[in-house]
Chain A
Amino acid sequence: MDIPTLEQLNLSAAFPAISLALGTCLLLLVDLFLPKNRKYLTAWLALGGLAVSFIFNLFAYNSSTTALEGMFIADQFTGFSNIAVIVATAISILLSIDYLKRHQMERGEYYILLLFSATGAMFMAAANDLVVIFVALELLSIPLYIMAAFRPNDARSEESGMKYFILGAFSSAFLVYGAALIYGASGTTNLTEIFSSVEGILATQSASSLYLLAGTALLVVGLGFKVAVVPFHMWTPDVYEGAPTPVTAYMSVVAKLGGFASFLRVMIIALPALALPESTIAVWQTTLWLIAAATLILGNFVAIAQTNVKRMLAYSSIAHAGYILMAVAAAGTAGLGDSAAQAALIYLLAYTFTNLGAFAVAMVLEKTDGSNVTLDDFIGLSRRQPLLAFLMAFFMLSLIGIPTTSGFIGKWLVFQVTLEAGLIPLAIIGVLTSVVSAYYYVRIIVNMYLRENEAAVGDEGEALPGASQYVNWAIYASFAGTLILGLLPVLATNLVNTVNLATMFPR
């Protein structure tokens, strides 16, 4: 076996992810020398590392090449996902700085775990090999298990970490077994090579085609757990409720980003030809659209019953996974892979900004005694904190998908590609459940604006428990992202205009 030279490895194409990995390892050392009462310095250094990675990402953005022996793809899909991951991680760091101090859990490891997890998400988005997908998924997940249980001596936080850990490990075992079966059928773990062998395997009618089908099913289960779609969603509400709020905000966004990026790559690059003879529709499309429909219905209807805001946002994040899965299902129709990937990417970026903003506002209302933020905590917020109330209302409208917000653009593109794929029942379910979702999002707006007379002690400008300068920056950044994407969607669509997973490499 030849040992590849450095030029053949093409490391420069993978610099955004590699630089973040190296920077995090360096930070691990630097953190040792920082005094205990100055751990916020680690946060600033972590932000610096993200900035470096962002700059490398700009240089690598429009490349279209592979690195690391074909295991890593550097293209617009990778670049766009990297932007979303970096922005989400930076906003989460801003949310964490004062939260950790207030809850007596300020430790340097937190930011390092956060960055390792972000590195995992970046590698997942770029992975062109089942081995890389597995390792990156674990790099994304293992730090999250620790961070979910980060609040010391708090039974709920530990329970959250434990549940996440057991179900996360369970799901990655499904993923590995699925990858093993696909490897057994095709003899390769490289996604592009799997694609070229699929037709041959199906033609032989041997046990290999069974392996391929079973492997695909297990991969869907494994990734489905990660992105929390029904029926693999049971862990989500408990984990989201128990984990420290900045961690919840982070994992609701970045774990989905990484999971869906790999989902799209596997389905569109490797398995689009997994179809019945003479059919242009991949066999997994029906399964995925049924899962998406179940996710939309369950997520949106159960969210109505919640009074705890973190649980409500957890069910809302399940519902949003359903909308993104609509795009993945649509990718099963031949020729739609690229537009489905573009729609899903834009939806993910829109969801990133909006969801982080919503969690940030919920965090501002959170008291240090560990009690939950409920819907009642929002009563009269418009009088106490007019600006914050307005921003929260805007995030809620974006989660519903009202025009001029980013959520609208995401939904518009996803519904469009679903209709193009001919999945009309799914599109109808999507629209109807969006209407249902308005009920529980609008309830927060009603509490903030229309029930202000019921507020108990609502002094004007009363300081909120979680308010701080950094949190405000994070909320403003989320607002800016939501608004700009909503008003000028062309900015985002230009960033993904040459995403071509399906046709990237000569077949």
Chain B
Amino acid sequence: MAIDAYIILSAVLFSMGVLGVLLKRNAILVFMSVELMLNASNLALVAFARQWGGLEGHLFVFFVITVAAAEVAVGLALIVAIFRTKQSINIDELHQMEG
């Protein structure tokens, strides 16, 4: 089965995620871009798993989803904490330390 289309799509999604992280200034949007990168990887993994017919790819996807959920919990907590101290989640305003 040709899976090239899926891999190309996942590469496009991954690149969009990378650009989002680099260009967006709102912490939540940055965070969503990271999720997009992880989900692009999931798509690639599932497509490859279909090609090889093994379980490893599917297994990997489940772990990625679980870990992403854990990251979301920590990330949103950090965003809330920062919003409380600074009343802003613009990551350009995170510049207490320079040098």
Contacts and interface: CB of A to CB of B under 8 A. Distances in A.
Contacts of B85: 153-155, 158
Nearest to A178: B41
A335 interface: no
A155 B14 contact: no
B82 A158 contact: yes
Interface string A275-296: 0000000000000000000000
A198 to B, nearest CB: 16
Contacts of B51: 184
Contacts of B34: 166, 169-170, 173
Contacts of B81: 149, 158, 161
Interface in A125-155: 130-131, 134-135, 138, 142, 145-146, 149, 153-155
Contact of B70 (A138, A149, A170, A176): A138
A189 B57 CA distance: 8
Interface in A172-215: 172-174, 176-177, 179-181, 183-184, 187-189, 207
A146 B74 contact: yes
Contact of A176 (B38, B77, B91): B38
A206 B36 CA distance: 28
Contacts of A179: 41, 60
Interface in B47-94: 47-48, 51-52, 54-57, 59-60, 63-64, 67, 70-71, 74-75, 77-79, 81-82, 84-86, 91, 94
B77 to A, nearest CB: 8
Kindly state the interface size class of chain B when it binds its partner.
35 or more
Given A173-B37, A177-B41, A306 B99 contact: yes
Interface in A1-50: 1
Given A158-B85, A162-B27, A177-B14, A184 B97 contact: no
A166 B41 contact: no
Interface in B14-42: 14, 17, 21, 27, 30-31, 34, 37-38, 40-41
A162 B94 contact: yes
5 contacts: A155-B96, A166-B91, A173-B17, A179-B41, A306-B99
Given A138-B71, A142-B70, 20 more contacts: A131-B63, A134-B67, A155-B96, A162-B79, A162-B94, A165-B74, A166-B21, A166-B30, A170-B34, A173-B17, A177-B37, A180-B45, A180-B57, A181-B44, A184-B7, A187-B48, A187-B54, A189-B56, A237-B97, A311-B97
